[in-house]
Amino acid sequence: MTKLVALICVISWAGFWAFGYLALSADFSNSRQVTIAAVLAAMGFISGTFAYIALGRRLG
């Protein structure tokens, strides 16, 4: 189970960085594209944070 949580953690943080970059580098005249990328980045941040905390509790 720990490996699954670690995999979720890595994928979530990768999604956060990828979609965060897309949100910051997108053309701001297209607000729909920026909003979707920002929401996906926020979801990656939240799930990555919870997975990181869960790993800390399991391994600590």
Say what the pLDDT of residue 45 is. Answer: 98
Looking at residue 60, what is its pLDDT? Answer: 77
What pLDDT shows up at residue 59? 87
What is the pLDDT, as a whole number, of residue 57? 95
Return the closest-CA partner of residue 26 out of 36, 17, 40. 36
DSSP codes, 1-60: -HHHHHHHHHHHHHHHHHHHHHHHHS-TT-HHHHHHHHHHHHHHHHHHHHHHHHHHHHH-
- Residues 2-53 pLDDT 10s: 999 999 999 999 999 999 999 999 988 989 999 999 999 999 999 999 999 9
